[in-house]
Amino acid sequence: MAPPRRIAHVDMDAFFASVEVRDNPALAGKPVLVGSPGKRGVVAAASYEARRFGCHSAQAMAVALRKCPSAVVIPPRRERYVEVSRSVFEIFSRFTPVVEGLSIDEAFLDLDGTERLHGSPRAIAEAIRAAVHSELSLTCSVGLAATKFIAKIASDRDKPDGLTEVLPGHERAFLAPLPVRELWGVGPRTEQILRRYGVRTVGDIAQLGAATLERDLGEHGLHLHRLSLGIDEREVTPGRERKQISHENTFHDDLRTRAEIEDWLLRQATRVADRLAAKGLRGRKVHIKLRDTAFTTWTRQRTLDRPSADTPAIFAAARTLVAKLDAEGLLRGRRFRLTGLGVSELTEGRAPEQLALGDMLGAEGGEHKGEVVQDVLSEVRRRFGDKALFPAGVGEE
């Protein structure tokens, strides 16, 4: 029998906020929010000092500032975060060539076969944390396990600057007391269905049995049952070819207006752009997906003039697609439970492929004067404040 795999999930702690504090030591010890103070701004990252007041990423900035009026708000510097991210991933690559980046600030590392060079998986995790701290003056948290999804859950157990190892054979004991929403794929509606059976924890799912879960949730139910038993056979896949990078959200409170839909697509465009930039990719085709409360799904797509990893360009295409759906009468009288945005036809490119403001406005070296770009810049300023060319993303941490 092959020995159990050892996989690490490394997650940078409050990455955007931590970079800002590192670059400006005067912020040390203060509650810091990365985002825009604009009326419709969203928190991209909150320092741990701000989190003590109830602030968190993906929160409306207005809500965060009500919870913590003394917070220092800093506009996001996406190019800076990508630059620091490259240094972080360079440290990862010293210990294993098998690194799968999930986003700009987290990755899976396959540690199988590395013991002779670098020691035990736990020793490697400690060495990574030490290198990140000593070389970059940042902290990260690490989860160690035999599967990807347990390693990811474990990395969140002891934040910030922590290490949690789930030893082989202890997976079910680790998972059993966790709330069901900790499992990938359990949103508010799935959790509601599970509650009908008195299911509150991952251990309850394991006890419920596969047949019941399959009857009510189909293949998704079988998937959840396998996860509850600690079964996840996915490999760490570095540099895997991606056909599409996408992000979607299912909402507890349905969306009722076009403005609400566009707000979420803007957040999703930012998240997708971050992931494209982190992977050094650009995309040519933008897709959106809307699903209403009757579970009817609409998808639309639009091809860009050129491949891009640029938030305004991606959002411009998405907003055009929403306008078409609206013109077709498909938004009126409906409530929407899900929105999604994706970019496909991916090619390798500069990371980030982010246009400077001068380029967008036709300054020397750039002639991008199109009305769509102007409209998008105005929209970003309106929703995220005058200083936020690149709006805050959702769930970067």
Would you list the DSSP string of 140-173? EEEEEESSHHHHHHHHTTT-SS-EEE--TT-HHH
Say whether 106 is catalytic. Answer: yes
C-alpha 120: how far from chain center: 29
Whole-angstrom distance, CA of residue 91 vs CA of residue 140: 12
Burial tier of 253 (Cβ tally within 10 Å: 0-12, 13-18, 19+): exposed
Q: Provide the annotated binding site for Mg(2+).
A: 11, 105
Q: What is the dihedral of CA 86, 91, 95, 98, to 10 degrees?
A: -10
Q: Which of 228, 235, 188, 9 is nearest to 108 (CA)?
A: 9
Structure tokens at 351: 């990371």
Angle made by CA atoms 119, 121, 125, in degrees to the nearest 5 = 100
Q: Which of 106, 165, 262, 396 is catalytic?
A: 106
Classify 13 in phi/psi space as left (phi over 0), alpha (psi -120 to 50) or beta: beta
Strand-pair category, 140-145 with 163-165 = parallel
Inter-residue contact 285 to 303 (CB < 8 Å): yes
- Annotated binding-site residues read 11, 105
Count how many Cα atoms sit within 13 Å of the Cα of residue 263 in the half-sphere of its side chain.
Answer: 16
Side-chain half-sphere exposure of 169, counting CA atoms within 13 A: 1
Q: Would you mind telling me the total number of residues written for the chain in this entry?
A: 397
Task: For residue 231, give both structure tokens.
Answer: 């079964």
The Cα–Cα gap between 184 and 190 comes to 11
B/e letters for 96-131, b = 16+ CB within 10 Å, e = fewer, are bebbbbbbbbbbbbbbeebeeeeeebbebbeebbeb
Q: Distances from the Cα of 254 to the Cαs of 61, 192, 258, 370, in angstroms?
A: 21, 15, 12, 34
Q: List the catalytic residues.
A: 106
